[in-house]
């Protein structure tokens, strides 16, 4: 009955959309993420795409994120640079004779919904199925990250990581990234571009010779023992800081921030009004290991609280001022509690303190984490941040969260209208 009532509501509101463009422009963004891998089979059908866009609209969403470059590395748009995505190596193959991204854009526009395009910036293959560019094209071997483990150095393709990442310190990798970003932005008419996985995989990567050279240039010194001068491992596999431990994390963060800056310049050179978004986890004190400093240069100085890994100059790597929107990954189970660092409310409040007015902040929720309190999670994001993103439609479908989301949206918009 929930599906039926929501679809009936969609019919009613569709007749009013054209006369409410001004009202729509004043709404907070309420965005539903459409992950390419999780929904590959579901969105092989145009009818299915239309059905779920109707359902999303009826629920109260006014925008969608269309994932066109998942971690596998192939793409769901018409490209002259990258291969079309036809399979994730799991046995299901679908070759489209229609433009996936353009169809989403056209159908979203019919429903007065905005479109954000997302691309996994640095992944290029799936480890579990050994599929994607990194596995299929040997010319990419020197672009793949190298792992540093207690057992020594090894190519990422020799590990059990979920996805294979390219080395962001390489100019050849940056060139490819900027080329496909430019291709998407110049060939399609949409509203925002979201950077996903624009980071290192984790602290184990990258320790290639090319990264050593880049790091030595960064610190203006020769590293006598690499990677031991960065860190070593104790008998239990824990990291033991070396001579250049703190400089290493700053170098990695600088590398990612420089890439984001170049992507921004590329996007704005084509379409100055297109928004640049970035998604990252809210736990900023941990993701420095991935090269991610989403804080403001003016408001976030981790050397005060985390001197064990941050230099005083680390704050200069903050990239909030390069973004139009930061999609805060408040993927937490608890909703309320400004004194509870495991709550969505706390995560949003902290993000505003660390970012200030450098960019807008949207609270984002992970469907599976908030099955029992989704209404409240949606409400908090819409009343305490500049927008909402729900990840992912596959979880909304699996746990039938449509009505809970709608109730959260309705309650938030009622309260916001009183402010």
- On whether the CB atoms of residues 383 and 416 are closer than 8 A, the answer is yes
pTM of the model: 0.93
Distance CA 335, CA 341 (A): 10
Instruction: Give Dmax (Cα) for the chain.
Output: 70
pLDDT profile of the chain (419 residues), mean per 10: 42 36 63 98 98 99 99 98 96 97 99 99 97 93 97 96 98 98 99 99 98 99 98 96 99 99 99 99 98 99 98 99 99 99 99 99 99 99 99 99 99 94
Distance CA 321, CA 354 (A): 12
- On whether the CB atoms of residues 75 and 177 are closer than 8 A, the answer is no
CA distances from 330 to 288, 315, 319 (A): 17, 22, 18
- On whether the CB atoms of residues 376 and 336 are closer than 8 A, the answer is yes
- On whether the CB atoms of residues 366 and 360 are closer than 8 A, the answer is no
Q: Where are the domains of the chain?
A: 34-323
Radius of gyration of the chain (CA): 22
Q: Which 3 state secondary structure label does DSSP give 100?
A: helix
Report residue 187 as tokens: 């060939």
pLDDT at 419: 83
Q: Which 8-state DSSP code applies to residue 256?
A: H
CATH tag for 34-323 (out of 3.30.390.30, 3.10.129.10, 3.20.20.80, 1.10.10.10): 3.20.20.80
Report residue 222 as tokens: 């020769």
Report residue 368 as tokens: 């599976």
pLDDT at 26: 66
pLDDT at 196: 99
């Amino acid at each position: 009955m929930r599906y039926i009532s929501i679809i009936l509501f969609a019919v009613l509101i569709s007749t009013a959309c054209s006369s409410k463009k001004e009202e729509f422009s004043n709404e907070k963004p309420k965005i539903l993420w459409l992950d390419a891998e999780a929904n590959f089979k579901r969105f092989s059908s145009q009818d299915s795409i239309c059905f779920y866009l109707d359902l999303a609209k009826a629920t109260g969403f006014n925008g969608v994120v269309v994932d066109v470059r998942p971690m596998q590395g192939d793409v769901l748009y018409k490209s002259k640079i990258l291969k079309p995505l036809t399979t994730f190596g799991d046995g299901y193959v679908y070759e489209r004779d229609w433009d996936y991204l353009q169809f989403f854009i056209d159908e979203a526009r019919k429903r007065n919904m905005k479109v954000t395009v997302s691309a996994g910036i640095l992944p290029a293959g799936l480890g579990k199925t050994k599929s994607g560019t990194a596995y299929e094209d040997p010319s990419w071997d020197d672009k793949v990250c190298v792992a540093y483990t207690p057992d020594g150095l090894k190519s990422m393709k020799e590990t059990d990581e979920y996805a294979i990442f390219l080395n962001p310190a390489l100019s050849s990798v940056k060139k490819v990234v900027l080329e496909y970003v430019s291709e998407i932005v110049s060939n399609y008419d949409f509203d925002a571009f979201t950077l996903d996985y624009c980071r290192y995989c984790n602290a184990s990567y990258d320790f290639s010779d090319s990264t050593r050279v880049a790091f030595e240039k960064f610190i203006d010194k020769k590293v006598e023992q690499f990677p031991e001068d960065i860190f070593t491992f104790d008998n239990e596999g824990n990291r033991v800081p070396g001579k250049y431990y703190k400089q290493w994390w700053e170098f990695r963060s600088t590398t990612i921030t420089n890439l984001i800056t170049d992507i921004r310049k590329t996007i704005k050179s084509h379409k100055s009004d297109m928004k640049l978004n970035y998604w990252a986890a809210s736990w900023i004190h941990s993701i420095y290991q991935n090269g991610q400093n989403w804080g403001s240069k003016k408001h976030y100085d981790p050397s005060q609280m985390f001197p064990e890994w941050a230099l005083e100059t680390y704050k200069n790597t903050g990239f909030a001022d390069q973004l139009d929107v930061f999609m805060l990954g408040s993927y937490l189970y608890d909703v309320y509690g400004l004194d509870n660092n495991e709550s969505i409310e706390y995560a949003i409040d902290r993000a505003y303190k660390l970012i200030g007015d450098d960019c807008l902040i949207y609270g984002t929720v992970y469907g599976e984490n908030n099955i029992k309190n989704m209404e409240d999670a949606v409400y908090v994001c819409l009343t305490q941040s500049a927008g909402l993103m729900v990840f992912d439609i596959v979880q909304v479908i699996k746990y039938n969260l449509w009505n809970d989301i709608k109730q959260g949206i309705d309650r938030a918009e009622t309260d916001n209208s009183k402010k």
